[in-house]
Amino acid sequence: MNKTKRRKIKVILQQGKEQDEVVIMGWVRTRRDSKGGFSFLEINDGSCLKNLQVITDHSIDSFDSISGKLHTGSCVSITGKLVQSPGKGQSVELQAKSIEVYGEADPNQYPLQKKHHSFEFLREISHLRPRTNTFGAVMRVRNRLSYSIHKFFQDRGFVYLHTPIITTNDCEGAGEMFQVTTLKPDSIPMVDGKVDYTQDFFGEKTCLTVSGQLEGEVYALALSEIYTFGPTFRAENSNTSRHLSEFWMVEPEMAFYDLEDDMNLAEDFLHYLFKDVLEHCSEDLEFFNKQIDKTILERHQNITEKEFERITYTDAIHILEKSNKKFTYSVEWGCNLQSEHERYLSEEVFKKAVVIYDYPEEIKPFYMKVNDNGKTVRAMDVLLPKLGEIIGGSQREDDYGSLLKRMQSKNLESEDYDWYLDLRRFGSAPHSGFGLGFERLVQFVTGVENIRDVIPFPRTPKHARF
Ligand code: ATP
Ligand code: MN
């Protein structure tokens, strides 16, 4: 292996320089033989969307012995000379001097032969789909977005916090958690008809986290501004194109922020991410705009250039009631907004990102700060056209008495939350935060319709295997 001269295809194409000898390593996307004793290979190494074109003369060393192994899907190392390309759409091409085949791919068996495969088909071969243009592009965009999320917060002095994955807290209070246990299903210890968790690994019932927020609050009330970015798990049985059982969430939590500061941060954050990805993933985004959804670039501009609309839940209900639009779920004050309502508001009424705030107290979790009217809480959701909810956040209840009252009305055991109440007992501070669903962000940016296609290995109900 001639590693010293190896160059990534992205760098070769960016530089566009002629060079006497370079080595590329990657996978053959296509092979075309021409009559005059030449073959054209398109090689991709995942560093960028574009392939590098390689021309090989059939008279080079050992070509005859490897020719039968050079197929779509084969992995190769090619040494050659970079020359200006006469073809359009590429700066340089490689004239092969020698080719080594690392691994062949039998054309009668390798599944990725066509130029276009359906997302459904590719989901069946999630170990091979990264070798398609679409999945390469999705993962590069996902990578850039992860990087710029860290950059956004780090530049503003937020501390990256690792919250636990195994927890005894049910943050959303919805009970949609995966249990973590080492008890054997066929011999569960019981006492008085109930599972005896004292014999379980942790000595009590434990689950996978649905959110790092509560732990995030602990650290925000010491370090001022923190964020988490990690996996979260929800055992909700919703087989939609926007829900996964395992997804990644970004959760900033800030002391001394009220709801308005929280909304400002969420808006700045999304503006920043869209601008950054447009700048650094333009080739991949143009590909999506051509192949997946011809409106995405326009939609990104619409998000980055316009201020978000901010309306109260009560005003949103008025608009929906007056709309004369037939919804599957009817609307009245106090109802949960469904994604059809959210999309109507952002796509048809405002035609841009919308932030809805001050939701009815009954439909929101215990930790949100109650407004003076006693009826609504300081919650906010950010809705995007075509997607619906991408961010959910709130100002947290910082008053001990109000929090305790709210926990009791929602039948939460205050002993379980002693530590959480302590944060209001000792040095309480106004504070706020939000959660952004990372895969929904990738969906919006790429225009990919199904959330299963923006994460390497999706976990959904009845599906945890490759
Ligand atoms: P939804 O109403 O869309 O199910 P939610 O209100 O239950 O979402 P939150 O608890 O507010 O979600 O979580 C914060 C963010 O995490 C959401 O705004 C969304 O972007 C994302 N999210 C929530 N559940 C899922 C899921 N099952 N799969 C992927 N992302 C999710
Ligand atoms: Mn929400």
Encode pLDDT of 181-219 as tens digits.
999 999 999 999 999 999 999 999 999 999 999 999 999
| CA 103 to chain centroid | 32
Mean pLDDT computed over 314-319: 98
237 pLDDT band (50/70/90 cuts)? confident
> Residue 437: nearest ligand to its CA?
1
In three-state secondary structure terms, 410 is: coil
Q: How many residues does the chain have?
A: 466
* The CA-based dihedral angle spanning residues 40, 46, 47, 50, taken in that order and rounded to the nearest 10 degrees: 40
The per-residue pLDDT for range 404-450, each reduced to its tens digit, is 999 999 888 888 899 999 999 999 999 999 999 999 999 999 999 99
Question: Does position 2 have pLDDT exceeding 80, yes or no?
Answer: no
- Report the 10 Å Cβ neighbour count for 16: 12
**The pLDDT value given to residue 217:** 98
Instruction: Tell me the DSSP string of 56-78.
Output: EETTSTTHHHHHTT--TT-EEEE
Query: Is 60 exceeded by the pLDDT of residue 171?
Result: no
Entry pTM: 0.96
Q: What is the amino acid identity at position 259? A: L
CA 389 to centroid of ligand 2, rounded, Å? 7
C-alpha to C-alpha distance for 175 and 196, rounded to whole angstroms: 19
376-384 vs 388-395, strand pairing mode: antiparallel
Q: How far is ligand 2, taken at its centre, from the CA of residue 439, in Å?
A: 14
Residue pair 80/102 in contact (Cβ under 8 Å)? The answer is no
End-to-end CA distance of the chain: 32
Contact between 11 and 47 (Cβ < 8 Å)? yes
Return contacts of 331-338, CB within 8 angstroms, 24+ apart: 333/360, 334/360, 334/362, 334/363, 335/363, 336/363, 337/313, 337/381
Give the pLDDT confidence score for residue 430 in this predicted structure.
98
Q: How confident is the model at residue 4 (pLDDT cuts 50, 70, 90)?
A: confident
With a cut of 80, say whether residue 120 has pLDDT above it: yes
Question: Ligand 1, atom 9: nearest CA belongs to which residue?
Answer: 392
- If you measure from the C-alpha of residue 205 to the centroid of ligand 1, how many angstroms do you get, rounded to a whole number? 24
Q: What gap in Å lies between CA 292 and CA 234, rounded to an integer?
A: 28
376 forms beta bridges with 360
173 pLDDT band (50/70/90 cuts)? low
Count of helix runs (H) and strand runs (E) in the chain: 13, 18
Average pLDDT over residues 130-154: 98
What gap in Å lies between CA 405 and CA 9, rounded to an integer? 61
Q: Which residue CA neighbors atom 4 of ligand 1 most closely?
A: 243
CA of 437 to the centre of ligand 1 (A): 6
Q: Which atom of ligand 1 is nearest to the CA of 245?
A: 27
Amino acid at the residue 158: F
Rounded distance, CA 315 to CA 345, Å?
11
